[in-house]
Structure 1
Amino acid sequence: MSCWDTIADYGLRSIGIGQRLLPKEDFTLCQQITLIGSGMIWNVYFGILALAFGFLAATGLAVSKAAKNPLIRKPAEWFIFLFRGSPLFIQFFFAYFLFLSLKNVSPIFSPFTAAWLGALIVLFCNTAAYSGEIFYGALRSIPKGDVEAADAYGLTGWPRFKRIIWPTMLRLAWPAYTNEAIFLFHATTLVFFTGFPAWQQRGDALYYANYFADKTFNPFIPYPILAGFFILLTLVVIGFFGLVNRHLNKHLPQQQRRKFRLRPNLIR
């Protein structure tokens, strides 16, 4: 079997397209690269959707935590504390058994026990909590002069938030938020090693890398391949977020623009 045939058979296997059975012996380098790359589809899926919805939730959490009304502030504080204070690995386990219990109550909760939805909800809540704290810190760091200038121009309420507070908050928080985005994509490798099962051996990139490492008793081929895919993904994330960072700071003089620096979270 040529490498092109392998790509055709296994390139989309993680989403149910192509060969149903995994190779059992005589593993080739092309098979390992193709299947691990196929699994990256799930990592990208979890990362993009969790980031997109988590970004909106994080903005709401930051504003709620800065509110003076305790009925609005306290739920946001406890949500952030809960998901920042507990390990993500444990959150996956508790969420799976919670959804499994709800499934026994009503079949309407059956999709929540699948990784595509249940694990996505956990990642969404986790990144919303961390990003909400980042945005809250940026919200507290907005120069008072900017707010006073908005008041002087008669901007209040939603117009002031949309045109002054929110863009400034994003500009201040963006470098730290970029690191959170990178960590989230790395954290997606935990999904199929927790309570959420991989249906018909359709897992993410780490799932396939672990499969080859177990079968060949040689982790020094699949795991570097996995690392290479994530390095490429990280470069894409850095490039995209760098463009957004440049757009957020385009109104500033060159010497006043915030430098974009990568500070990866080695441990959470």
Structure 2
Amino acid sequence: MSCVQTIMDYGLRAIGIGERLLPRSDFTLCQQFTLIGSGMIWNIYFGIFALLFGFFLATVVALGKGSRHVWLRKPSEWFIFIFRGSPLFIQFFFAYFLFLSLKSVNPMFDAFTSAWLGALIVLFLNTAAYTGEIFYGALRSIPKGDVEAADAYGLSGWARFRRVIWPTMLRLAWPAYTNEAIFLFHATTLVYFTGFPAWQQRGDALYYANYFADKTFNPFVPYPILAGYFILLSLAIIGCFGLVNRYLNRHLPSDRRAKLKIRPQIIR
């Protein structure tokens, strides 16, 4: 089988398009690159949607934690504490069995036991907690002069938040948020090693890398391939977030613009 044919057969297998059966013997580099790359579709799916939904929830949580009202502040503080204080792997584990219990009560929860929804919810809540703490720190770091200037221009309430506080918060938090985004995409590899099943062997990149490592008894080929894909993905994230960072700092002189300093978290 040629490499082109392999790509046509397995390039979209992770989402159910193409050959149903996985190769059983005579594994080639092309098969490993193709199937692991196919699994990256799920990692990108989990990362993008968790970031998208988590960004807005994190803003709400950060504002809640900074609120003077205890009924807003305490729930935000406990939300951040629980999801930052417990391992992500354990969160996946308990969430799956919670959804499984709800499914036994009401069949409408059936979709929540699938990785595409259940695992996404866990990732969304987890990154919202971490990002919420980042945004809260940025809120506390907003110069008082910016707020006083907004008051002097007659801005208050929503107008002041939208035009002064929120943009400044994002500008201050963006470098740290970029690191959180990179770690979130790396954390998506935990999904299929928890309770969430890979239906019809449609797993993510690590799922297929582990499959080849088990079949060939040689982890030194599939895992470096997996690492290479994630390095490329991290570079793409850095590039995209760098463009946003440049936009957020466009009003500053070039020598005062914050530079992205990527410090990947090894242990969360």
When normalised by structure 1's length, the TM-score is 1.00
1:131 aligns with 2:131: yes
Is residue 96 of structure 1 aligned with residue 119 of structure 2?
Answer: no
DSSP-derived class of the 2:263 partner: coil
Which residue of 2 is the match for residue 112 of structure 1?
112
| Cα shift at 1:266 | 1.1
Shift of 1:241: 0.1
TM alignment of 1:8-27, pairs within 5 A = 8-27=8-27
SS in 2 for 1:35: helix
How far off is 1:41 after superposition? Answer: 0.1
In structure 1, runs of 5+ residues without a counterpart are: none
Q: Quote the residue 2:43 is aligned against.
A: 43
2:137 partner letter: G
Give, as a single letter, the amino acid of the residue that structure 1 aligns with 2:39: G
1:67 alignment partner, SS class: coil
SS at match of 1:145: helix
One-letter identity of the residue aligned with 1:233:
L
Find the counterpart in structure 1 of residue 178 from structure 2.
Answer: 178
* Structure-1 separation of matches of 2:112 and 2:90: 17
Residues paired across the two proteins, number: 268
Q: State the AA in 2 paired with 1:266.
A: I
Given residue 247 of structure 1, which amino acid in structure 2 is its aligned partner? Y
**Are 1:234 and 2:234 matched, yes or no?**
yes
CA distance in 1, matches of 2:252, 2:114: 46
- Provide the aligned C-alpha RMSD in A: 0.4
Counterparts of 1:3 and 1:223, CA distance in 2: 20
Following superposition, the deviation at residue 159 of structure 1 comes to 0.3
1:34 matched to 2:34: yes
Deviation at 1:263, TM superposition (A): 1.1
The amino acid that maps onto 1:39 is G
**What's the % identity of the aligned pairs?**
79
Q: CA deviation at 1:257?
A: 1.0
What amino acid does structure 1 have at the position aligned with 2:110?
S
Please report how far the alpha carbon of residue 255 of structure 1 lies from its aligned counterpart in structure 2 after TM superposition: 1.5
CA distance in 2, matches of 1:157, 1:31: 57
Matched with 1:216 is 216
The whole-number CA distance in structure 2 between the counterparts of 1:4 and 1:121 is 36
How far apart are the structure 2 equivalents of 1:256 and 1:15?
Answer: 45
1:256 shift after superposition: 1.3
Give the counterpart letter for 1:218 in structure 2: N
* CA–CA distance in structure 2, aligned partners of residues 255 and 22 of structure 1: 54
Q: Determine the structure 2 residue equivalent to 1:203.
A: 203
Distance in 1, matches of 2:262 and 2:179, equals 7
Q: 2: CA distance between counterparts of 1:212 and 1:253?
A: 51
Partner of 1:266, secondary structure, is coil
TM-superposed CA distance for 1:254, in Å, is 1.2
Q: Which residue of 2 aligns with 1:67?
A: 67
- 2:247 maps to 247
SS where residue 129 of structure 2 aligns? Answer: helix
Q: In 2, Cα distance between the equivalents of 1:258 and 1:43?
A: 29
Output the amino acid matched with 1:53. Answer: F
> After TM superposition, where is structure 1 displaced by more than 4 Å over at least 4 residues in a row?
none
Give the corresponding residue for 1:77: 77
Partners of 2:110 and 2:70 lie apart in 1 by 36
Q: d(CA) in 1 for partners of 2:38 and 2:253?
A: 44
- Structure 2 residue runs of 5 or longer lacking an equivalent are none
Amino acid aligned to 2:241: F
How far apart are 1:194 and its partner, in Å?
0.3
The offset of 1:259, in angstroms, is 1.6
Quote the Cα distance in structure 2 between the aligned partners of 1:156 and 1:116.
41
- CA-to-partner distance for each residue in 1:88-109, whole Å, 9 max, x for gaps? 0000000000000000000000
Q: Secondary structure at the match of 2:177?
A: helix
